[in-house]
Amino acid sequence: MKAVIQRVSSASVVVDGQTVGSCEKGYLILLGVAMGDTEEDAELLCRKIAALRIFRDENEKMNLSIRDIDGEALVISQFTLLADYRHGNRPDFLASAKPDKANQLYEYFKELLSKVIRRVESGIFGADMKVSLVNDGPVTICMDSENLKKKK
């Protein structure tokens, strides 16, 4: 499971002209579910993301977590994070989980995150989404649950 975490001042997602999710200060999380991912992958990422200290403290040092600042999150499913671009110029997405499994783990991840962050909103799985954000910093962190497993 791959996640791109962007520290934002605000973010929103629009589907068919309607805003379906938004957040204020916190994270925009793009989440890609790979074939073979399990609930353990979602749990590892959720724990790490919730504890990640990338918000500024009173000394302007990145030392606070999203929980410390009572931040919010907007989670967007994005299978293109699993792109294989090694051959040719058209990426393939064969490493992505099948839609049913990907949606199940996406929903599970959001459920876990909503237990540790006060407000979690999302896009619509599989929809054509227009995402807007004000990246704060900019600060962008890429995570892969496989790397977190190696740490264990």
Catalytic residue IDs: 78-80
Amino acid identity of residue 134, one-letter, is: V
Residue 78 · residue 145 · CB < 8 Å: no
Residue 16, phi-psi category: left (phi > 0), alpha (psi -120 to 50), beta (remainder): left
Give the C-alpha separation, 106 to 31, whole Å: 7
Find where tokens 């073979």 sit. Answer: 36
- Which of 128, 109, 151 has its CA nearest to residue 5? 109
